[in-house]
A = this chain, B = another copy of it.
Amino acid sequence: ADPAAVTEARAHQDRLTKPRGALGALEDVAVRLAGAAGCSPPPMPEPAALAIFAADHGVHAQGVTPWPQEVTQQMVANFVAGGAVANAFAAQVGASVTVVDVGVAADLPHAPGLVHHKVAYGTADLSAGPAMTPEQTVAALEAGISVARRLVAEGARCLITGDMGIANTTASAALVAAFTGHDPAEVTGRGTGVDDETYARKIEVIRRALDANGLRPGHAAAPLAALGGVGGLEHAAIAGFILGGAAARVPVLLDGVIAGSAALAAAALAPAAVDHCVAGHRSAEPGHAAALEYLGLRPLVDLELRLGEGTGGLLAHPLVCAAVRVMHDVATFDSAGVTEKDA
C-alpha cells in the first residue's frame, strides 16, 4: 500500500462534514483502497464484475456432502440462464456475471457468459494424495489471472469472486487448516447442510487429506504444494483472480469461505495482494472467520449467509461504493460553512 495515499485519505476523511470516525469500518475501507490504488480519493469501484469459477472435486466420492456432483453443472446452466441467487444479486447491484469452467466434470455447451478454461474434469481425491498436479495448479491460477485481466480490460473497476463446486467447502477447510495452522475440527463447517455423521466424516477426510499431502497444521506449507494438494481448481483460479486484480490495482471483493481460503494461497504467494482485497462478508462457515482473521480482513456483511456463488461479495459492493463515494462527493467543514465541534 502507498503510505502517502493512506495519510492523505485519512486526513481527507477528517475534513469531511461528519464527526471524526462516524462512518466506522467504512472509513477504513476507503483509506485502505486509497492505499491500494496509490491515490486519494481512490477510484470509484464501479462497474463491478463477478466471476464464478466452477469445478468438481474428487473428494465428492468420500461422501462429504448430500448434494450430487451433477449439481455443479446444473447450477452452471442456472447461472448462464440468469436464474440463480448470484444473478439476482448481480442485477441488484449492477454487476456483470461471467461463469468460468475451470474444472467441471462434464463437457459444457457453449453459451453467452460462459468462459471455457477447463484444466481437468474435476480434481483427484484430496484425501488420497494431491488433488491437482503442479501443472494443473498453475494452469488454474493462470486461468484466474487471465479472467481478471480480461474483465479489467473490458472496464471493470472492482472484481468480485464467485464459486460453484459441490464439495468445495471440504477443500476450503483443508486449505484453511494448512495455511493458518488451525485444527481441522476448528475450521470445518456444515457447508450447504450436512448431518452429524457426514460432518464427522468430513473432518476425518480433511485430516487424512493433510496427512496424505504432508501438510501439518501449524507448520508453514509451501503455497503451491498446499494449494495443489488439498485445493480445488476453483480455489486455484480464484487465487489467480485475486493476484490478477491486485496486479491491475483493482479492488477484489471476496465472497465466502472458498474465496477466503483461496486468498490465503494468494497471500502466501504475494503478500501485498491482500492490500487489494476487501472481505465482502463473513459466512456461517467457521473456516471463513479463521481465514479472515489470519488475513487481517474485516467482513462488511455478517448475515449468516452460506450460499457462495459470490452472493456475499455482491451484497457488500454497494457498501464499498458508498465508502469510496464519500471521499469524492462529501463537502468539507470549510467548503460547507459548517462549524466544527469545540476542541
Query: A86 → chain B, closest Cβ, in Å?
Result: 9
Residue of B nearest to A20 (CB): B193
Show 21 residue pairs from A and B whose CB-CB distance is below 8 angstroms, ordered by the A residue. A17-B85, A19-B192, A22-B85, A22-B193, A22-B306, A24-B284, A24-B304, A25-B304, A66-B341, A68-B341, A74-B339, A81-B336, A84-B331, A87-B329, A88-B322, A89-B325, A89-B326, A91-B325, A91-B329, A300-B303, A303-B319
Query: A137 → chain B, closest Cβ, in Å?
Result: 29
Does A307 interact with chain B (Cβ within 8 Å)?
A: yes
Does A77 interact with chain B (Cβ within 8 Å)?
A: yes
Query: A1 → chain B, closest Cβ, in Å?
Result: 21
Question: CB distance B192 to A88 under 8 Å?
Answer: no
Does A278 interact with chain B (Cβ within 8 Å)?
A: no
Does A16 interact with chain B (Cβ within 8 Å)?
A: yes
List, in ascending order, chain B residues with CB within 8 A of A17's CB.
Answer: 75, 78, 83-85
List, in ascending order, chain B residues with CB within 8 A of A89's CB.
Answer: 322, 325-326
Contact mask for chain A residues 15-33; partner B; CB cutoff 8 A; 1 contact, 0 none: 0111111111110000000
Query: Interface residues, chain A, CB within 8 Å of chain B?
Result: 16-26, 65-68, 70-71, 74-75, 77-78, 81-85, 87-89, 91-93, 192-193, 284, 300-307, 311, 314-315, 318-319, 321-322, 325-326, 328-331, 335-339, 341-343
List, in ascending order, chain B residues with CB within 8 A of A330's CB.
Answer: 83-85, 87-88
User: A26-B305, A66-B343, A88-B322 known; 15 other A-B pairs, CB under 8 Å?
Assistant: A17-B78, A17-B84, A22-B193, A23-B85, A23-B311, A66-B341, A74-B336, A81-B331, A83-B335, A87-B329, A87-B330, A88-B326, A88-B328, A92-B325, A193-B341
Once the chains are docked, how many angstroms separate the CA of A18 from the CA of B87?
12
Query: A4 → chain B, closest Cβ, in Å?
Result: 24
Question: CB distance B322 to A19 under 8 Å?
Answer: no
List, in ascending order, chain B residues with CB within 8 A of A321's CB.
Answer: 92
Once the chains are docked, how many angstroms separate the CA of A339 from the CA of B65?
13
Question: CB distance A322 to B66 under 8 Å?
Answer: no
List, in ascending order, chain B residues with CB within 8 A of A20's CB.
Answer: 193
Once the chains are docked, how many angstroms separate the CA of A252 from the CA of B13?
30
Query: A164 → chain B, closest Cβ, in Å?
Result: 11
List, in ascending order, chain B residues with CB within 8 A of A342's CB.
Answer: 66-68
List, in ascending order, chain B residues with CB within 8 A of A18's CB.
Answer: 84-85, 307
Query: A111 → chain B, closest Cβ, in Å?
Result: 14
Q: A77-B336, A336-B78, A339-B70 are in contact. Are A193 and B315 (CB under 8 A)?
A: no
Once the chains are docked, how many angstroms separate the CA of A67 from the CA of B325?
25
Once the chains are docked, how many angstroms separate the CA of A85 from the CA of B74?
43
Question: CB distance B337 to A24 under 8 Å?
Answer: no
Question: CB distance B26 to A67 under 8 Å?
Answer: no
A23 touches which one: B75, B78, B305, B326 (CB < 8 A)? B305
Q: A68-B339, A88-B325, A339-B74 are in contact. Are A307 and B83 (CB under 8 A)?
A: no
Question: CB distance A338 to B193 under 8 Å?
Answer: no
Question: CB distance B306 to A92 under 8 Å?
Answer: no
Once the chains are docked, how many angstroms separate the CA of A154 from the CA of B26?
32
List, in ascending order, chain B residues with CB within 8 A of A85's CB.
Answer: 16-18, 22-23, 326, 330
